Chains A and B, each alone.
Chain A
Amino acid sequence: MSSYLTKRLAFFVPTIIGVASVVFLLLHLIPGDPVDIMLGESAANADRQELREKLGLDRPLLVQYGTFLSGLARGDLGESVHSGRPVRELLAERFPATLRLSLAAGAFAVLIALPLGLLSAARPHSPSDRITLGISLLGVAIPNFWLGPMLIMAFSIELGWLPVSGNGSPQHLILPALTLGASMAAILTRMTRAAVLESLQEEYVRSAAAKGLTRRRIILVHAFPNALTPLISLLGLQFGSLLAGAVITETIFAWPGIGRLTLEAIQTRDYPLVQGCVLLIAMAYVLINLLTDLAYALADPRIRLDDSD
């Protein structure tokens, strides 16, 4: 296990450098000038040049890249071109909000999906199964930008139970979490159903039934644990997507997270900030993947994480 961990962590550094390099190059390839956006159209050309020099944007791309990499090695992500604040500080300010939202959305998805998936698998093709499948299909098909306002219409405007948007109290978290988690819940429900149904076809289930175990026990104690491996894999991927894909939900609900920060940084061509945001998301992805792999071993003792893998 420890050698596996060391190997995976060793891959972490080149992965991050690779992501950082790609982001750096892509950002400088797309049209748009942060100085134009900062100074507007009325500024004189000399002032533009001066600011460009001040921000180091006049230097050759390779020099800028070198400066960026050396900063990265020291853990310095630079300063936001627009606010002048350290990127690390801005990320630290915004990341907890995204993490909170993603965890809430993930918890909602798991709480809904696992029982519903199990229920569907227990009675396949029954009315309850068809209803569950229909709802999960809707969950996958309905886009966040539509679901969010609909939930607001229902719970905030018609019923008056919850605030429309913003951040600051537990109530503020509910609608964004439902919106963000809906798609994950739907996918996870279908996956749980399929995985448990597959497990139910195994020989050991027949043996368990022959021993006279109840169906509930068969499903919960035998079939479900064996269905966990693909679910963990999906859960890891989906949670990564929640972190990276919260842009729309954060924009709709004015949630002050990394997704919105990234979007705003791209719009204003705030290069250091975009780089910082993407790096943070990439690091989170790598970490989640690592945790997912470790979770496999916990869920299925047959999986060994060592050099002989």
Chain B
Amino acid sequence: MHYGTKAKHCVLFPLRKACLFYLIPSAPLLVVAWGLTLLGGCADSVVRDPDAVVIAIEASPTQLDPRYSIDAYSSRIGSLLFASLTRSGVDARPLPYAASKWWQPDRKTYIFELRDDLRFHDGRRLRARDVVATYRSILDHRSSSPKRAALASLQSVEAEGATTVIFRLSKPDAAFMHSTGIGILAADGLGIEPVAALELTGSGPYRLASFDSDRLRLEAVQGSAAGDPTIETLIFKVLPDSVMRALELRHGSVDIVQNAIDPDTVDWLDREEKGVEVRLGDYNAYQYIGVNLRHPALAKLPVRRALVYAIDRNAIVRYILKGQAQTADAMLPPHHWAYSDKVRHYSYDPDRARRLLERAGYTDPPGPAPRLTLSYKTTTIELRRRIAEVLAAQLSEVGIELKIESYEWGTFFADVRAGNFDLYSLAWVGIEDPDLMRTVFHSRMQPPDGNNRGGYSDAITDRLSERALRSRPGKRRKLYARLQRRNSRRLPYIPLWWPRNVTVISRRLTGFEPLPSGQLWGILSARLRR
């Protein structure tokens, strides 16, 4: 007897028993189907609070204590929880927030006058001594606050009365104003160690109601320095996967996603037009290729220029980034107060790139061998790898072989900081004060003390960036224009593009205006459609 043959089955397996046999395996499927139907009806009610606006974020904020926060989400959520002396405006200039006004009696002194109607969420008044306590705790040598380096020029901070704060610097430091955006904490009981999120008392337009690893709930507070929020509840939902953020938007269980969906998916959401709207705005960000100037070939200016001419940035912006960026020739974006258009502009010109390589001594060898081989480091993010492949294809047209090495963030970042690269690509996000150019291009700012990872050394750049730091705003603008022109000629970075601020918003939300800083102040004027 062979049970494995079909003929025997027909004899041994009558129809009635076959039905029973099918019913047994079908039962769990039926149970699952039944369960889905039963549970389906109430699924949305579990997810949605109709009065809450849900904002999807990529990762949980690592530290909400404003003295210790460095990641973008800590900063953006923190700015809604804690009032600071100033906040960044559309053109990256500081605007009044907890401070109603400020002035400089001399180049080393800043005096801030606080608004006298400010209160912490527990009802205590926000006074000058709170500002002093916050800044002093950062300056304390026992503190490990990452913000202390930015306050290196701050010699002392004192309160004069209840509403006046005097900052005295050891030397003129025009970038100091950028450090006045640190959230203010209540002086009473404030130590130097970071405070747990739910124990922090802020004075912003929202207070933190709950915080677990994947969800933060903020509730509106009336009478803050930023104005009265119209949205009662904000929920920040951590969704690590880009596709899931898009699907949640499409599902209607998320209302806002900012700069956290891949360009292809944003394009799909835009075309679908189902309940969401895509907005492209200005963004304080700059994407570039970092160059190791210690490399014998990359130390030569014609080679760096050849790289810019060989890359068709417009094509990448159009086809890979779906128009969600603008080709850049310098670091500061056009809406920034220190932006200058008087820089060297580069267009796609592979013939010129070949000529420049010839001039630099990299002649075209016979056969398929490249003129020059360079490594290019990037992260494992799919979009970055796709861009790397396009760059490799474009550079191969002029005889440069690009060896792509993609690593997870920790390894990639360690290599970049150690100068272990020929080329790498990264973006500066949250560009506020143009003094960033000094920390990035000054010859003394090489890691670990700064961000000059490529080892760029140029006396004129050093002098211009130092002078700009000591100058008053009008003069600074001129000096930064010269610095941008110089950098566009000397190319310590290969400029790529300024990413746009890509915000996908649910249509049930009106009046939300995304800001170039990426901060979520726009939520204060937003309303929910009923």
- Given A51-B144, A54-B144, A159-B40, A164–B411 Cβ distance below 8 Å? no
Given contacts A39-B70, A42-B150, A162-B40, contact A156 B251 (CB under 8 A): yes
Q: Say yes or no: is A13 at the interface (Cβ < 8 Å to chain B).
A: no
Please indicate the chain A residues that have their CB under 8 angstroms from the CB of B145 in the complex: 47
Against A, the Cβ 8 Å flags (1 = close, 0 = not) of B32-51 are 10011101101110110000
B408, A254: Cβ atoms closer than 8 Å: no
Query: Is B119 in contact with chain A by the CB < 8 A criterion?
Result: no
- Set of chain B residues within 8 Å of A126, measured between Cβ atoms: 6, 9
Q: Is the CB of B237 within 8 A of A251?
A: no
A229–B62 CA distance with the chains assembled, in angstroms: 47
Please name the residue on chain B nearest to A111 by beta carbon: B28
Question: With an 8 A cutoff between CB atoms, is B238 at the interface?
Answer: yes
- Which B residues from 176 to 193 make CB contacts under 8 A with A? none
**Which of A112, A159, A264 is close to B29, meaning CB atoms less than 8 Å apart?**
A112
In the complex, whether A190 has a CB less than 8 A from a CB of chain B is no
Chain B 461-478 per-residue mask, 1 if CB under 8 angstroms from chain A, else 0:
000000000000000000
Q: A36-B414, A43-B146, A170-B39 are in contact. Are A200 and B4 (CB under 8 A)?
A: yes
B360 interface residue per 8 A CB criterion: no
Contact A44 B148 (CB under 8 A): yes
Partner of B36, one of A42, A50, A162, A210: A162
Q: How far is the CB of B160 from chain A (nearest CB, A)?
A: 29
Identify which of B1, B20, B29 contacts A216 (C-beta below 8 A): B20
Determine whether the beta carbon of A44 is less than 8 Å from that of B449. yes
Q: With contacts defined as CB atoms under 8 Å apart, how many contacts are there between chain A and chain B in the complex?
A: 195
Complex Cα–Cα for A264 and B409 (A): 11
Within 8 A of B (CB), among A233-270: 251-254, 256, 260, 264, 266-269
Query: What is the CA–CA distance of A246 and B530 in the complex, to the nearest angstrom?
Result: 39
Interface residue? A70 (CB, 8 A): no
Proximity bits, A188-209, B CB within 8 Å = 1, else 0: 0000000001001100011001
The 8 A CB mask of B1-13 against A (1 = contact, 0 = none) is 1011010010011
Tell me if A209 and B1 are in contact (CB < 8 A).
Answer: yes
A7 to B51, CA, bound (A): 60
Interface assignment of A301: CB less than 8 Å from any CB of chain B: no
Given A82-B62, A267-B409; A155-B13 close (CB under 8 Å): no
B243 interfacial contact with A, CB 8 Å: yes
The listed residue (A31, A108, A122) touching B414 by CB distance below 8 A is: A31
Binds B, one of A57-65, A113-121, A279-287: A113-121
A108 in contact with B32 given A32-B413, A157-B250, A164-B247 (CB within 8 Å): yes
Decide: A123 and B13 in contact? CB cutoff 8 A: yes
Is A161 part of the contact surface with B, judged by Cβ < 8 Å?
yes
Q: Is B198 an interface residue (CB 8 A)?
A: no
Residues of chain B from 194 to 239 with CB closer than 8 A to chain A in the complex:
194, 212-215, 237-239
A residues within 8 A CB of B35?
A: 174
Q: With the chains together, A63 CA to B25 CA distance in Å?
A: 58
Which interface class (under 10, 10 to 19, 20 to 34, 35 or more) fits B?
35 or more
The minimal Cβ–Cβ distance linking A221 to chain B, given in whole angstroms, is 14
Closest B residue to A34 by beta carbon equals B410
List B contacts of A30 (CB < 8 A): 410-411
B103 within 8 A of A: no
| In the complex, residue of chain B having the shortest beta-carbon distance to the beta carbon of A260 | B240
| Residue A149, interface by CB 8 Å | yes
- CB within 8 Å for A153 and B152 given contacts A31-B411, A163-B253: no
Chain B CB within 10 Å, residue with most, of A160, A164, A167: A164
* CB <8 Å contact, B239 and A254: yes
A32-B410 in contact given A161-B43, A215-B17 (Cβ < 8 Å):
yes
Interface pair B144/A36, CB less than 8 Å apart: no
Secondary structure call for the B interface: helix
Query: A71: which B residues are within 8 A, CB to CB?
Result: none
Measured between beta carbons, the chain A residues less than 8 angstroms from B447 are 41
A170 to B42, CA, bound (A): 11
With contacts A54-B144, A157-B247, A165-B248 taken as known, whether A197 is within 8 angstroms of B36 at the C-beta atoms is no
Interface assignment of B244: CB less than 8 Å from any CB of chain A:
yes
Smallest CB–CB gap between B255 and chain A, Å? 13
- Whether the pair A160, B414 counts as a contact (CB closer than 8 A) is no
In the complex the two chains form, is B24's CB within 8 Å of A171's CB? Answer: no
Is A168's CB within 8 Å of the partner chain B?
yes
Contact residues in A for B413 (Cβ distance below 8 Å): 32, 36-37
Question: How long is the Cα–Cα vector from A38 to B147 in the complex, in angstroms?
Answer: 12
- B 409-428 binary contact with A (CB < 8 Å = 1; else 0): 11101110110000000000
B193 → A minimal CB distance (Å): 9
Contact of A88 with B by CB under 8 A: no
Q: Which residues from chain A contact B148 at a C-beta distance below 8 Å?
A: 43-44, 47
Contact indicator A256/B410 (Cβ below 8 Å): no
Contact with B along A140-168 (1 / 0, CB 8 A): 00000000010011011101111111111
Which residues of A sit under 8 angstroms from B24, Cβ to Cβ? 115, 118
B187 to chain A, nearest CB (A): 23
B105 contacts chain A at the CB level, 8 A cutoff: no
Residues of chain B within 8 A of A267, CB atoms compared: 408-410
Chain B, residue nearest A45 (CB): B448
- Docked Cα-Cα span, A149 to B265, in Å, equals 13
Q: Is the CB of B44 within 8 A of A160?
A: yes
Chain A residues contacting B488 (CB-CB under 8 Å) are: none
User: What distance in Å separates the Cβ of B424 from its nearest Cβ neighbour in chain A?
Assistant: 14
CB-based contact B411/A112 at 8 Å: no
Residue A214 CB within 8 A of the other chain: yes
* Cβ of A40 under 8 Å from chain B: yes
| A124, CB-defined interface residue at 8 Å | yes
B241 touching A251, Cβ below 8 Å: yes
A166 touches B214 (CB 8 A): yes
Q: How far is the CB of B28 from chain A (nearest CB, A)?
A: 4
The answer, yes or no, to whether A304 is at the interface (CB within 8 Å) is: no
- 27 sample A-B contacts, Cβ–Cβ < 8 Å, listed by A number: A30-B411, A31-B415, A36-B413, A37-B413, A38-B62, A42-B149, A43-B146, A47-B148, A123-B9, A128-B22, A152-B247, A153-B247, A156-B251, A161-B36, A161-B37, A162-B36, A162-B43, A163-B43, A164-B253, A166-B47, A167-B214, A197-B4, A218-B3, A251-B241, A256-B214, A264-B59, A266-B410
Q: Which 8 interchain pairs have the tightest Cβ spacing?
A: A115-B25, A161-B40, A32-B410, A111-B28, A31-B414, A44-B149, A40-B70, A45-B448
Given A115-B26, A166-B215, A254-B241, 15 new contacts (CB under 8 A): A39-B144, A40-B146, A42-B150, A44-B148, A45-B448, A47-B149, A50-B144, A51-B144, A93-B213, A112-B29, A119-B21, A124-B6, A162-B36, A264-B59, A268-B62
